[in-house]
Structure 1
Amino acid sequence: MTAPLDVSGSASEAPPESVLEGGGKIAGRSLGQIAWSRLKRDKVAMAGAGIVILLILMAIFAPAIVAVLGHPPQEFHEDLTDPNTGVPLGAFGGMSWEYLFGLEPRNGRDLFSRVVYGARISLLIAFLATLVSVLLGTLAGVVAGYFGGWVDTLIGRTMDVFLAFPLLVFAIALVGAIPDTAFGLTGDSLRIALLVFIIGFFNWPYIGRIIRGQTLSLREREFVDAARSLGARWPHIIFRELLPNLIAPILIYATLLIPSNILFESALSFLGVGVRPPTPTWGGMLADAVRFFTLPHFAIFPGMAIFITVLSFNLFGDGLRDAFDPRTR
């Protein structure tokens, strides 16, 4: 017969703290802390985040960077180009320690400086357009998902109309029809405002559908029923109960929407309906490079700037999605 076990002084009778190694207490972690611990282990996503931060800093401190490593982006150096062909003198498009990316054909402007300043326009338009899309899409999605019924039907059909709209054709027609001065704005300010409006206002249905689906599942959860039972009205439930639980999908989709907006702005600038020259933009520089196909450096550097920016945001967005919801892997 097996002798009875002596349970006196065993772990089953000890306080929970003594079971832990070192006698410490278990500290609770928020969703953000758990997601951050997962994100830190994703080296690819962290590398993308690092490049994104560097790009943002490059756009903010563009004047200081150009003052140290380049020349003013609008400064001509025609004496460094061939007077007959306009080709920059020297090897590889005039690349040197003084002109890191070489020179533009004909006018001899510093290509490095223009690429650095081009980041300002692309990132500014992308961030502002994403902000507009996120605000409109989140509001419409939460309202449609929470109220349902005819409100959901009305907002849903409005989303379908916007999704079926020929956005590129509309952008070309609208930007081309607006005069140089309108709405109290002029020049680059007017063009940037128009691009932000077009890209942001017509892209909100994408995030709106995602937020609507998330809201449909959240509105049946116990904490929402508890808030209703305590007499909470719909503004409190939407802004204090639902929106805090929608931060993760909103943040994830925003990081994935930014590169799409960068590509769209570059496409509009490439087609000549974006920010007008001589203001440097990556898409506009690619459009100018088409005429000088024998000078690959003229297209490689702005093209690589777009490629690296979009890739970095996508890698960071994928890592952020996996960190907040590892089941999507």
Structure 2
Amino acid sequence: MGSAIADVAARAGVSKATASRALSGKGYVATATRQRVVDAAKEIGFVASPNAASLVTGRTKNIGVVIPFISHWFFGAILEGIEEALLGRGYDMTLYNLRPGSVDRDRVFDFFLARKRFDGVIAIGVEPTAEEAGRLLRLGIPMISIGAPVAGIRSLTIDDVRAARLATEHLLGLGHRNIMHIGGVITGDDDQTVNGQRLTGYRQAMVAAGLGGEMRAAQAVMSVPGGYDAGTHALSDPTLRPTAVFAACDEVAIGVMIAARRIGIRVPDDLSVIGIDGHDYAEMFSLTTIEQKPRLQGQSAVTDLLEAVSGEPAAVEVVEMPARLVVRASTAPARIRADAV
């Protein structure tokens, strides 16, 4: 069993603080002294831990991550980027799965994040309120948000309004006029969440094309089954069937494509479908999408956060991450329906 760092310090003839600096690599220690401490640790079987290092640095080498979904591809890809970047820098990660409407939300922000020892917090798609973010910032805990911008903290996000406009304009450019948007749950016209901003972008593009009166939108669970259910409902009636669907994420888009094929609707001959994300399966489904880089977002969040942890706080601003249109075979020019001639 490893001994306490006090035993290492005593054996090496140094203070506990010096022993901790020597073993953690943080702070100056003379080369000879460092070697003496390392030798003492080996002799008694001591293994340095983040807790030992924190005696000197005041850091825990642990980052708290709050996320609404683990099973959704987009969030999982961000986590992969965060985990890779943290491990490469010798940090641990503590994950809190905070689903929308969770009764544990107050407990996470009031107790776990505020009272447990974290060097920083990354919130992914949780969109903490100004009050929640303020609690952590008042405690001196650096925080980064990935997703919709959050007032008062650094936020990494794509321009969701512009991405949605780009997706809708791609369909308009192919001659489609009967375009339906299938997105996530929103709370009202002034909803500033990712779902709300993507609906706003769709509306802006339709209005700019003179099709404000033709807008149709439906809400869905942001998943393949959610897209399948919404797609089945939207496509079942031939008299109301759109010629194109802009889905707010690739998983919904894939679900819509599966529903269309089950009904006997050909993609893209009878129905064009576009999504947002750049899902790993987008190529397999030949899905046209607005591609973003969630793993890069996770890695960038870690870089920015650890700069703040080290005493170099980044500016409080919205950092726009890259997104681009990738055209594949799920979208095609609109066909003129026989009953419209």
Q: Considering only CA atoms, is the larger Rg found in Structure 1 or Structure 2? A: 1
Q: Which protein, 1 or 2, shows the higher relative CO under an 8 Å CA cutoff with sep ≥ 6?
A: 1
Q: Please, what TM-score do these two structures have when normalized by structure 1?
A: 0.26
Q: Please, what TM-score do these two structures have when normalized by structure 2?
A: 0.25
Q: Per residue, is there more strand in 1 or in 2?
A: 2
Q: Per residue, is there more helix in 1 or in 2?
A: 1
